[in-house]
Amino acid sequence: MLLSLVKRPEQSKAMVYVSPIIALGLTLISGILLFQIMGVHPAQALYAFFVDPITTKYGWAELGVKATPLILIGVALSVGFRAGVWNIGAEGQLTLGAICGGGIALWLYQVDSVFVLPLMIICGVLGGMAWAAIPAFLKTRFNANEILTSLMLTYVATLLLSLLIHGAWRDPDGFNFPVSRIFSDSATLPIIWQGTRLHLGWILTIAAAIAVWVLMSKTIIGFQIKVIGQAPKAGRHAGFSVNRTIWFSLMLGGGMAGMAGLFEVAGPIGQLLPSISPGYGFTAIIVAFVGRLHPVGVFFAGLVMALSYLGGESAQITMNLPLAVTGVFQGLLLFFLLACDVLITYRLQFKFPVTSTRGSKHV
C-alpha cells in the first residue's frame, strides 16, 4: 500500500476544523507512548499537563496572564505575515515598549494620578513603533531585508535595557543590584479578577484581537494587505502601495509588541529587570502560524501555547518530570498542529499495488 499526497482542487473547508482535532489526537497518542517509555503513568502525566494547571481560579487567570503577550504580538504579526512582511524582531520592539513605558513609570514614580498609566501605554506603543520604524525605513528606502534588520535590532534593544538597568535606572535602594524601583500603584495595571494576577492587559488583548479581525475582514486596508501578500504585482496594478503596506505592517507589529512589553513590566513584573521576557516575541511567531494567521486562530493558539508552559511547570511539580520532557512534548504538539494543516490543501491518497489482471503473464 502506498501513501501519497495529492493537491486538492480547492482548500478543504472541513479540514480547516478537523485538522486541529486530528493533531490533538496524534499528540495525545504520541504523548502516551512517550510517557509509557519513560515509565511515567501517561494518564497522570497528561492530566498534569492539560488539566492540573487550570483546576483553580488562579490557574485560569494565569493562563490569561501568560497568553496576553503571546496573543497580542501573534495577532499583530499575523497581519504582517499576510502581507509578506517578515517582522522577526517583535522581541526587540517588546523590549523598547517596556523601556519607554517603564521609563515614564520611573520618571513619575512620585506622581499619583490616573493619567500615569495611559501615558505609559502610549509611550510603550510609540517605543515599539519607533523600533519597528528602523527596519521599515531600511526596507522601503534601501530594500534591506527586514528579517535581518529586525532580528539584529532585538539584541541592540536587550543591551540598551541592560545598560539602563545597570546604570541610570538602577534602584537607588537596591544594593546596586540591576533592578529598577518597583512601580508605584498608579503605574501598575489594575487587577480585573481579585485574588489573581489577571490584569487590564487581558481585556485590551481581546479588544485588539477583535480590532484586527475587523481590520482584516471588513476594511479596504485589510483587503490591500491580503492582495499585496498574495499577488504583489496585481496589488500594484490596482494602485495599492507596497511601501505603505510595509510601513503599516511594521507599525502595527511594533506598536502591539511595545504594548505587550509594557503590560509585562506594568503588570505581573511590576518593575524593570534585565530580562523581562522569556522570548515572547519569538514564540508569538509560532503562535501566529499555529493560529493560521487568523485573529481567532491566533487567540486559541496563544491559549494552547500558554497552557503548554503552565503544564510544563505543573508536570515538574506534581510528576517530577524533567524540563526536557516538557520541551519534547511541546515540540510534538506544534509539529502535529502544523503538519496536519497540510491536509487542508492536500489529501492523502492510498494506492494499492495493482495486481494487474490484464497481461499478468508469468514470465
201 contacts: CB under 8 Å, gap ≥ 6: 68, 72, 189, 260, 263, 267
**By the rule CB under 8 A, 5 interacts with other proteins:** no
Specify the stretch interacting with other proteins by CB under 8 A; choose among 207-215, 220-228, 295-303, 310-318: 310-318
| Least distance CB 346 / other proteins (angstroms) | 11
**Per-residue x/- mask for other proteins, residues 254 to 283, rule CB under 8 A?**
----------x--xxxxx-xxxxxx-----
| Least distance CB 318 / other proteins (angstroms) | 5
- Cell numbers standing for residue 137: 525605513
Specify the stretch interacting with other proteins by CB under 8 A; choose among 62-70, 118-126, 206-214, 234-242: 62-70
Q: Binder to other proteins among 166, 184, 300, 335 (CB under 8 A)?
A: 166
Q: Given CA atoms 66, 72, 78, 81 in this order, what sign does their dihedral have?
A: negative
Q: Binder to other proteins among 49, 50, 52, 293 (CB under 8 A)?
A: 52
Please name which of 79, 23, 3, 27 lies closest in space to residue 344, comparing C-alpha atoms: 23
**By the rule CB under 8 A, 194 interacts with other proteins:** no
**By the rule CB under 8 A, 316 interacts with other proteins:** yes
Instruction: Name residue 347's beta-bridge partners.
Output: 6
| Least distance CB 56 / other proteins (angstroms) | 8
Q: Binder to other proteins among 16, 32, 156, 211 (CB under 8 A)?
A: 32
Distance CA 110, CA 90 (A): 31
Cβ closest to other proteins, residue 231 vs residue 317: 317
Cβ closest to other proteins, residue 56 vs residue 145: 56
Cβ closest to other proteins, residue 44 vs residue 184: 44
Among the residues of 238-351, which ranges form H helices? 242-264, 280-290, 295-319, 323-340, 342-345
Q: Binder to other proteins among 317, 331, 339, 342 (CB under 8 A)?
A: 317
| Least distance CB 224 / other proteins (angstroms) | 36
Cα angle for residues 25, 27, 30 (degrees, 5° grid): 110
CA atoms within a 13 Å half-sphere pointing along the CA-CB vector of 196: 18
What is the total count of residues that contact other proteins (CB under 8 A)? 60
Could you tell me whether strands 2-7 and 346-351 are parallel, antiparallel, or unpaired per DSSP bridges?
Answer: antiparallel
Distance CA 110, CA 21 (A): 52
**By the rule CB under 8 A, 140 interacts with other proteins:** no
**By the rule CB under 8 A, 209 interacts with other proteins:** no
Among the residues of 39-115, which ranges form H helices? 42-50, 57-82, 90-107
CA distances from 348 to 84, 128, 148, 315, 353 (A): 29, 44, 37, 36, 16
**By the rule CB under 8 A, 110 interacts with other proteins:** no
Element (H, E) at 327: helix 323-340
Cβ closest to other proteins, residue 136 vs residue 260: 260
Cβ(266)–Cβ(105) below 8 Å: yes
Q: Binder to other proteins among 16, 30, 47, 147 (CB under 8 A)?
A: 47
Q: Write a three-state SS string for 122-169.
A: HHHHHHHHHHHHHHHHHHHHHCCCHHHHHHHHHHHHHHHHHHHHHCCC
State the residues that interact with other proteins by CB under 8 A: 14-15, 18, 21-22, 25, 28-29, 32, 41-44, 46-48, 52, 56, 58, 62, 65-66, 159, 162, 166-167, 175-179, 182, 197, 264, 267-271, 273-278, 309-310, 313-314, 316-320, 322-323, 347-350
